[in-house]
Structure 1
Amino acid sequence: MKETINSYEDLLVMLDALLREPTNFWDDFYSNREKGIPFFANKPDENLVGYFENVLTGTSGKALELGCGPGRNAIYFAEKGYAVDAVDLSGQSLQWAIERAEERNLKVNFIRKNIFDLQIEEGSYDVVYDSGCFHHIAPHRRMSYINLVRKALKPGGYFAITCFVQGGELGGADITDWEVYRLRSLQGGLGFTEDRLRTIFKDFEEIEIRKMKEVDQTNELFGVSALWTALFKI
Structure 2
Amino acid sequence: MTDRHIRSVEDVLTLLDGLFADALKWEEFYGDRERPVPFFAAKPDENLVSYLERGLLPPGRALDIGCGPGRNAVHLAAAGFSVDAVDLSDAALTWAKERAGDADIRFLCGDVFSMELGEYDLVYDSGCFHHLPPHRRVSYLSLLDRCLKPGGHFGLACFAAGEMGSEAPDAELYRKGRLEGGLGYTPESLRWIFSELTEVELRRMTEEQADSPLYGVPFLWTALFERP
Does TM-score exceed 0.5, indicating one fold? yes
Q: Once the two structures are superposed, what CA deviation does each residue of 1:151-197 show, in whole Å capped at 9, x if it has no partner?
A: 111110000000001131xx311111111101111111000011111
Q: Which amino acid aligns with 1:2?
A: D
Task: Return the alpha-carbon distance in structure 1 between the equivalents of residues 28 and 213 of structure 2.
Answer: 27
Any stretches of 5+ residues in structure 2 without a counterpart?
none
User: Are 1:207 and 2:200 an aligned pair?
Assistant: yes
C-alpha distance in structure 2 between counterparts of 1:163 and 1:231, whole Å: 12
Distance 1:84 1:21, change over 3 A: farther
Aligned to 1:193: 186
Pairing 1:27–2:27 present: yes
Letter aligned with residue 35 of structure 1: R
User: What's the TM-score, normalizing by structure 1?
Assistant: 0.93
User: Which AA in structure 1 matches 2:76?
Assistant: F
Query: How far is 1:22 from its partner?
Result: 6.0
1:67 and 2:71 are equivalent in the alignment = no
Deviation of 1:60 after TM superposition, in Å, equals: 1.6
Q: Deviations over 1:7-51 (max 9, x none)?
A: 22111110011127668x100001111111111010000000000
Q: Which residue number in structure 2 is paired with residue 118 of structure 1?
A: 115
Counterpart residue type for residue 28 of structure 1: E
Structure 1 residue 56, shift from structure 2 partner: 3.1
Computed over aligned residues only, the root mean square deviation of the Cα atoms, in angstroms, reads 1.4
- Give the match for residue 10 of structure 2: 9
Which letter maps to 2:222? T
Ranges of 4+ aligned residues in structure 1 off by more than 6 Å: none
Structure 2 counterpart of 1:174: 167
Map of 1:149 onto structure 2: 144
Residue of 131, 136, 139 corresponding to 1:136 = 131
How far apart are residue 107 of structure 1 and its match?
Answer: 2.8
Q: Indicate the SS of the match to 1:9.
A: helix
Tell me, in whole angstroms, the C-alpha distance in 1 between the residues paired with 2:175 and 2:31: 31
Question: Counterparts of 1:210 and 1:20 in 2: how far apart (Å)?
Answer: 32
2:184 and 2:55 mapped to 1: Cα distance? 27
Which segment drifts farther, 14-23 or 214-223? 14-23
Aligned to 2:199, what secondary structure does the other structure show?
A: strand
How far apart in 2 are the matches of 1:20 and 1:126?
35
Cα gap change, 1:229 to 1:61, in 2 (>3 Å): same
SS of equivalent to 2:124: strand
Give % identity. 49
Verify the 8 A CA contact 2:27 2:90 in the aligned structure 1: yes
Alpha-carbon distance in structure 2 between the residues aligned to 1:5 and 1:63 = 35
* Number of residue pairs matched by the alignment: 226
* Structure 1: unaligned runs, 5 residues or longer: none
- Distance in 1 of aligned mates of 2:71 and 2:145: 24
Q: Give the drift of 1:143.
A: 1.6
